[in-house]
Structure 1
Amino acid sequence: MKFQWTILVGLLFAVLIAVFAVFNVESVPVNYFFGTEMIPLVLIILGSALLGAIISGFFAIYKSYIGGRRVKELEKQLHVKEEELTAQRREMQEMEERIDALMEPPLVQAEIIPPKELY
């Protein structure tokens, strides 16, 4: 099984965020468009990290979807090109056979000449 560095780095980053959030437990004022609320800083930090992970995940899914569509499109084009190539090869083979048939010397039937009578 292949070791995946991205999972290890992601886990280390998550642990660092969690430790940072635990040390910042005091409440802070959060200004909304319609008011202000006191929320623990740990919730704001974890919520921001979660929101960032969700947004990154959606972008990764979108990119994967677009890549998959592109692969299907290219596979279709490849199939069409392979069919064209097969048809052209068949055509070339037929032409080579015609050329070979034209280049062969015609078979000459030998005339049977009766022997001349001796004088």
Structure 2
Amino acid sequence: MKGQRYFILALVFALIVAILALVNDEPVQFNYVFGTQDWPLILVILGSAVFGGVVAVSLSLVKIIRLQSQIRQLQKNGASVPPSVEANKDNTTAAKKKEKELSSSENKNVGIKSRLNK
């Protein structure tokens, strides 16, 4: 579901960029390191969008690679579950036991109340 949302947002963004590019088709002077050149504005807009996408994907890949190396390192070191997680499991088990005790005592109370009302 989350992937579909990003895909739809990407399509909407691409549609907006395409509309802006089609509306702005007059030539503009593009300055780069080695000189200048007149290009249609549509190429400048689309080129900028593609360049931004490449930069975003590159930065995401760097983060993914870093996280994968951390995962491998933790697996190699035999990292275990932190004690706080174990404590939470124990608390959850204790809470479930208390809940069962309370529900059984409530059932007893209902039986006693029904006997008293007779």
TM surpasses 0.5: yes
Look up the match of 2:89. none
Greater helix percent: which structure?
A: 2
Instruction: For residue 25 of structure 1, give the secondary structure of its aligned residue in structure 2.
Output: coil
Write the distance in 2 (CA, Å) between the matches of 1:68 and 1:35: 42
Q: Any idea what the Cα deviations from partners look like across 1:46-92, whole Å, max 9, x if unmatched?
A: 0000000011111111111111010111112226x69xxxxxxxxxx
Look up the match of 2:48. 48
Compute the displacement of 1:32 (Å).
Answer: 2.8
Write the distance in 2 (CA, Å) between the matches of 1:6 and 1:30: 32
Instruction: For residue 64 of structure 1, give the secondary structure of its aligned residue in structure 2.
Output: helix
Count, aligned residues: 80
Compute the displacement of 1:31 (Å).
Answer: 2.1
Q: TM-score of the superposition, structure 1-length normalised?
A: 0.61
Structure number with larger C-alpha Rg: 1
- Structure 2 stretches lacking a partner, 5+ long: 82-118
Look up the match of 2:38. 38
Q: CA RMSD in A?
A: 1.8
Instruction: For residue 78 of structure 2, give the secondary structure of its aligned residue in structure 1.
Output: helix
Return structure 1 stretches of 4+ with deviation > 6 angstroms: none
Compute the displacement of 1:36 (Å).
Answer: 2.2
Write the distance in 1 (CA, Å) between the matches of 2:43 and 2:21: 8
Write the distance in 2 (CA, Å) between the matches of 1:32 and 1:64: 32
- Structure 1 stretches lacking a partner, 5+ long: 83-119
Look up the match of 1:27. 27
